[in-house]
Every structure is written in C-alpha cells, then in structure tokens.
Amino acid sequence: MSDEPSGPAIPWAAIPFFRGLRSTERDALRPILRMKAYEEGETVFREGDPALTFHFVVGGKIKIVKTAPDGRDVILEVLGPGDPVGAVAAYEERPFPASAITLEATTLLSAPRDELFALMAVNPALVRGLLLGLTSRLMEMTRKMAERGSRVEYRMARLFLALAERLGRERGDHLEIPLVLSRQEIADMVGTTQETAIRVMSRWAKENLVSTTDTGFRVANRRGLEAIPPGD
C-alpha cells in the first residue's frame, strides 16, 4: 500500500459527499484528505476495528465481508467509485460491523473522523453534504432490507442489476460483469440457499439472461432481469 499526495488531483465531483462543495470548502478539507492506493486483496479495515476514518472509493472495487457464525466469510455488498466505505459506522463512532477487502487495485480518499468533525463544527455546508450522503446510504440499506421479503429470483435479479450498474462493461449485444462470485456467495448476498442460487442461475443460463464466465458473468438480457417481479 502506498500514500499519494492529496493536492489538486482530488476527484471532488466523483464523490457524492463532496460534490456540492464550494472552492473555499474544498480548500478547508484538502489538508485532512489522503489518497491511498491498495493492491488487490488488501484489507482496508477489519470487522470490529474502531471506525476512526471516513473512506470513499476513487477507483477500483471493494467487497464488504462479514464472518458468519459458522466461520464462513459472507459478502454483503460490492462497492465501486464514488461509494463511501464504512461511513455510517464512522459517523456513529462505533466499530466497523464488517471487513472491507479490495477486489482489485483500488484507490481510496480518506479523512480522519475527528478532524472532519472539527471542520464540520465551523462549516455547515460540510454537515449538509455529509448528512445527504449518509441519508442516501441509509436509504439504500433500507431498500435492501425491504427486498428480503420478496422472492429469491427478484432479489438475485436486483443483485445482478446493481452489479451491472456498478461494474458492468458493454460488449456489443451484452454486458460483462468482471467479478467472480461462487453460488454460495450469491446465495449469501441475497439471503437464500446455495441450492436455490444454483437452480436460478442454471435456469437463467438456459433462458439466456445471465451466464457464468471464467472472469465473472455475462448479462445477455438486462431488460429480462428488470422484468422479474418481486412477488409470484
């Protein structure tokens, strides 16, 4: 892992938390921000670590992983450019509820919690930006919890649509998701069994919706995924 100077290269517009700031507010923030480059497979923070820093993804991908009671690592979500990492825990000053591990070479923009809060105390615009970002994050978490009451195929469709939106690459008449996930990992992410995930993925492959490749997934019919209803 290597540190990079913050300076003028900070991608303000790429981070929703900071997008609406004026130049004077950005100048106030600049001294406390740090850009860090992580290699693939590096741990940004571990479950249970104190949340002393706000992190934001500038480039690359991070998986959020929680240890299940049986010892397995369960992938909760995958984060990409612009996403906050552990922001709710940092705001509430409680331990990180899960671990963050890079899926590829990743760059993070980070700010120490105490220093950021000291700036927010004298700059209401920073407070608005942070709260808007946290509200958006909490709404996303609430939406995911609500989806748990829907049928499994719908939850799997929403997962792949989210991955397509975040990571997808257009390739002619289809879209590629360069992320390898096992059937068990898919099941964990949507709250179902491995057997059910296998059954749905097999049917989708036959229906030419989503198929598995050596490097991830091939989405051949995005509209078909969008049309899957939440109930029977």
pLDDT, one tens digit per residue, over 113-149 is: 999 889 888 887 677 666 666 666 656 655 665 666 6
pLDDT, one tens digit per residue, over 9-46 is: 788 888 877 877 778 888 888 999 999 999 999 999 99
Residues of the chain with CATH 2.60.120.10: 2-147
Distance CA 206, CA 216 (A): 17
Residues of the chain with CATH 1.10.10.10: 152-226
pLDDT, one tens digit per residue, over 41-56 is: 999 999 999 999 999 9
User: 213-232: string of b/e by CB count within 10 Å (b at 16+)?
Assistant: eeebbbbbbbeebeebeeee
Q: What is the dotted CATH code of the domain comprising 152-226?
A: 1.10.10.10
What's 2-147's CATH class? mainly beta
Predicted structure pTM score: 0.70
pLDDT, one tens digit per residue, over 167-225 is: 788 888 899 998 888 898 888 888 788 999 999 999 999 999 999 999 899 999 999 99
Relative to beta strand 53-59, strand 169-171 is unpaired
Candidates 169, 197, 193, 172; CA nearest to 183 is 197
Candidates 123, 116, 58, 66; CA nearest to 91 is 116
